[in-house]
Amino acid sequence: MNLLLLGGTRFVGRHVAELATRRGHAVTTFTRGREAASPHAVRALTGDRDPRIGAGLAALAGHPFDAVVDLSGYVPRVVGASAAALADRVRRYLFVSSVSVYADLSYPDADESAPLATLADPATEDVLPNYGGLKAACEAVVRDACGSRATIVRPGLIVGPFDSTDRFGYWVARFVHPHLLGNRGAEAVVPAPPSRALQFIDARDLAAFIVDLVERDVGGTFNAVSPPGQWTFGVLAAALHAAADAPPGIAWVDDDVLVAQKVEPWTGLPLWLPAAEPDHAGFMHVSTARALEAGLGTRPLGETVADTATWLAARDNAAAWKHVLTGSAERAVVDAARRRTRA
């Protein structure tokens, strides 16, 4: 199969390229050329997805492709240009979207039929504040261009080696390589209760699902994340503890203490969202029944932790974790939690 990756040099894309190559497919990447070409690509094309910039998509002309995996689409106008240019030349167009497309994640078990976010200004291209609505609009232009030949994959939080967001990596570093985070206390702050739900997907499992769908020419829309209830903060803490030679103690801290100590949700303490924020109640609990039926699999959590730890130990971490709890702030949270328990 001649497989085109729009992107393909970072995180999920590099895992897709590696796996597809191992399976004998000819991989072409299309990027702006700002990073080294994927070592797994047989051809690296450069240009810009935005047809208004430079030569735009001209480099794609004349090359035969069986399928395309769109890993870098965020703006409907730009995605629409790619979809229109490729629709008549590929049998399958797979667009990597996000569970953030759902308009309401205040309830658990949202499935692929749930209402999608809309844009107050359909012309906006301001991605960060309009991420969900823009991704939903991108899905629509892919479906319009490709019809039944469109496949939409909606991952949630993606983790594992080469994850530059460092959200999951923070937890691996805190338990397995605490020196990477500077001077830390004897106890790691973990949001209580241990039963608090977590839902994510190893990038390599996501890559396998993507390649499988393209190989089997499967259409439809899929929430691609771990099954709801499979993992919790307690399960994660146990996996982290098992992976560490000298793990820290665990200070289970309630939301009210974290909020009172002005811990920034998701940023100061990665993966933590206060339970009192109803808009997020279903964010870590979307339905994956359709994806599981289509073949989505998840590897053991310990494997993801171990491989992420190995990657962190080898890379340059100088620019990482600039906004997480500092060591002194973490100790202050532990002290506040103890005072509350004694009161």
Q: Tell me if 157 sits within 8 A of 225, measured CB to CB.
A: yes
Based on the fold, state whether residues 180 and 325 are members of the same structural domain: yes
Q: CATH number, domain at 52?
A: 3.40.50.720
Domain that holds residue 61: 2-155
Based on the fold, state whether residues 151 and 182 are members of the same structural domain: no
The tokens of 88 are what? 């008549």
pLDDT at residue 2 is higher than 90:
yes
For residue 142, the model assigns a pLDDT of 98
Total domain count, the chain: 2
Q: What percent of the chain has pLDDT over 70?
A: 100
Widest pairwise Cα distance in the chain: 73
The whole-number average pLDDT for the span 66-89 is: 97
Based on the fold, state whether residues 27 and 9 are members of the same structural domain: yes
Last residue of a domain, one of 96, 122, 155: 155
Q: What is the secondary structure of 214-255 as a DSSP string? A: HHHT--EEEEESPPTTSEEHHHHHHHHHHH-SSPPEEEEE-H
Kindly report, residue by residue over 253-307, the tens digit of the pLDDT: 999 999 999 999 999 999 999 988 877 778 899 999 999 999 999 999 999 999 9
Query: Phi-psi bin for 246: left (phi > 0), alpha (psi -120 to 50), beta?
Result: beta
Query: Percent helix, strand and coil across the chain, each rounded to 5?
Result: 40, 15, 45
Kindly report, residue by residue over 8-40, the tens digit of the pLDDT: 888 999 999 999 999 999 999 999 988 877 788
Based on the fold, state whether residues 81 and 168 are members of the same structural domain: no
Mean pLDDT of the chain: 95
Kindly report, residue by residue over 98-110, the tens digit of the pLDDT: 999 999 999 999 9
Kindly report, residue by residue over 177-211, the tens digit of the pLDDT: 999 999 999 999 999 999 999 999 999 999 999 99
